[in-house]
Amino acid sequence: MAATGVSNGLTVLRGTLITCHDDPFLTDPAKAFSVESDGIVLCRDGMIEAVGPAAELLASVPAGTPIASYPGCLIAPGFIDTHVHYVQTGMVASYGKQLLDWLDRYAFPTEIEFANEAHAARMAATFCDELLRNGTTTALVFCAVYPQSVDALFAEAERRGMRLVAGKVLMDRNAPEALRDTPQKGYDDSKALIGRWHKHARSLYAITPRFAGTSTPEQLDAAGALWREHPDVCVHTHIAENRREIEWTAQLFPSAKNYLDVYDRHGLIGRRAVLAHGIHLGEEELCRCHESGTALSHCPTSNLFLGSGLFRVGAVKDPKRPVHVGLGTDIGGGTSFSLLATMGAAYEIAQLGGRALSAVEAFFLATLGGARALALDDRIGSLAVGREADLTVLDPNATPLLTLRNARADSVEDTLFALMIMGDDRAVRATYVAGRLAHERAA
């Protein structure tokens, strides 16, 4: 590997710094987003110790410290994927079905393989490789129903120093027998996993009922009780993704006034609850998300691939009752691990809804917006002193066509826009986790 810029717990990077400090949907984008055209990020022991113009900070870099210099590249906070299934990595791009049939035909059989610990360990390594190759340093992850699938992922992430949030799926009905637990076993296994992994190194736990349709009311009650006992873990589930799913859920929970109300009645919404999709939520449900602090994960490549529908980002982020939103790749319903590609798909979906999504807005969703969705914005998601030093280095000249387009860019925002429309893992020059080089693109 090339010079890493690491010495005695000190890592120094130089390039064009980009970061959000606030939400550009709600505040002046010129204030929410900042660019430092020749900047330095100085990291010590995994944290950002100084960040600012090279002209000011170079003098404070101890003599002899190597500097990882990235001329022409953008240095950004590591991307945050707020919804992804590591146990579906191998079945990405499976043909021809929409959600409920796709689960039966492809997702469930693939997840059964994770009862095998060696398989889970191999796939956890592949999954972490993919995250880092795509500049993603934090993800909120669905594992399989088996606790050993969670152990394998956290063990691998901790080996790499990553901050992952993950949990065992809870499912006690409407799934193959081999993938079902019970309310009591799901509760006990999840509680044991919280004890083993939550706040261990950088790991955090998420209570993970798959969605309303695969849990009995008793299991959702148990999940709600567990969250009350451990209020600092996340809750992670799916909601209002597909029309047939919504009708089916209404039949299963006839007394609920809408889909969100199923989770609400079981104490499963609030700050640190992240609901994937939410494409078809109504106004009343969005208001309830807003007032409760519940976040949505927008998964555009998945919504296109599974034919689920078009998320209305403008309506969800309405300044009158904004909802926390991050971006999710939703592998294997989604088609790319790249948050750049996911930002590009979010732009295309917004266009189909009659609204352009700016590069700064999309970048916010992929970084600070994701951190806020997870209530981790005091630790990750921006370049600021005291934040954890998870960084991604983007190369606007990664391909011949990007180089051609970037030559016409009239601003850093325009360069970022070209990257999100045309970029993918090739545009990730390097990824740093807690100040250490964790991935570097081959020359």
Site residues (vs Zn ion, CB under 5 A): 276, 330
53-92 residues near ligand GUN, rule: CB under 6 A: 85
Task: Please report how close the Cβ of residue 211 comes to ligand GUN at its closest, in angstroms.
Answer: 4
From 330, 377, 390, 424, residue interacting with ligand GUN (rule: CB under 6 A) = 330
Residue 336, token pair as written in the block: 């790319």
Decide: helix, strand or coil at residue 376: coil
From CA 316, how far away is CA 332, in angstroms rounded?
25
Q: Is the dihedral of CA 183, 174, 260, 167 positive or negative?
A: positive
Task: Tell me which residue of 407, 415, 387 sits closest to 78, measured CA to CA.
Answer: 387
Does position 124 interact with ligand GUN (CB under 6 A)? The reply is: no
Q: Which does 137 bind (CB under 5 to 8 A by kind): ligand GUN, Zn ion, none?
A: none
Does position 210 interact with ligand GUN (CB under 6 A)? The reply is: yes
Residue number of the CB closest to Zn ion reads: 330
339: CB partners within 8 A, 6+ apart: 79, 80, 81, 134, 135, 136, 327, 329, 366
Angstrom distances, CA of residue 385 to CA of 36, 190, 311, 353, 356: 15, 35, 34, 38, 32
Does position 175 interact with ligand GUN (CB under 6 A)? The reply is: no
From CA 239, how far away is CA 218, in angstroms rounded?
19
In the bound state with ligand GUN, the residue whose beta carbon lies nearer, of 103 and 437, is: 103
Task: Tell me which residue of 137, 130, 222, 150 sits closest to 183, measured CA to CA.
Answer: 222
Q: Report the amino acid identity of residue 94.
A: S
Does position 103 interact with ligand GUN (CB under 6 A)? The reply is: yes
Q: At what angle do helices 183-197 and 217-229 cross, to 10 degrees?
A: 30
Task: Please report how close the Cβ of residue 330 comes to Zn ion at its closest, in angstroms.
Answer: 5
- Of 99-107, 119-127, 177-185, 191-199, the window that binds ligand GUN (rule: CB under 6 A) is 99-107
> What is the x/- site pattern for ligand GUN, positions 212-251, by CB under 6 A?
--------------------------x--x----------
Contact 115, 150 (CB under 8 A): no
Residue 358, token pair as written in the block: 């700016």
Q: Which does 211 bind (CB under 5 to 8 A by kind): Zn ion, ligand GUN, none?
A: ligand GUN
In the bound state with Zn ion, the residue whose beta carbon lies nearer, of 299 and 371, is: 299
Does position 99 interact with ligand GUN (CB under 6 A)? The reply is: yes
> What is the x/- site pattern for ligand GUN, positions 278-307, by CB under 6 A?
------------------------x-----
Contact 421, 344 (CB under 8 A): yes
From CA 433, how far away is CA 430, in angstroms rounded?
10
The residues that bridge with 63 in the sheet, in sequence order, are none
In the bound state with Zn ion, the residue whose beta carbon lies nearer, of 33 and 205, is: 205
Task: Please report how close the Cβ of residue 151 comes to ligand GUN at its closest, in angstroms.
Answer: 20
Does position 333 interact with ligand GUN (CB under 6 A)? The reply is: yes
Task: Please report how close the Cβ of residue 279 comes to ligand GUN at its closest, in angstroms.
Answer: 11
Task: Please report how close the Cβ of residue 230 comes to Zn ion at its closest, in angstroms.
Answer: 23
Angstrom distances, CA of residue 287 to CA of 41, 183, 191, 261, 267: 39, 30, 31, 12, 17
From 12, 57, 107, 393, residue interacting with ligand GUN (rule: CB under 6 A) = 107
Question: Using only C-alpha atoms, what is the Rg of the chain?
Answer: 21
Q: Which does 103 bind (CB under 5 to 8 A by kind): ligand GUN, Zn ion, none?
A: ligand GUN
Q: Which residues bind ligand GUN (CB under 6 A)?
A: 85, 99, 103, 107, 210-211, 238, 241, 302, 330, 333
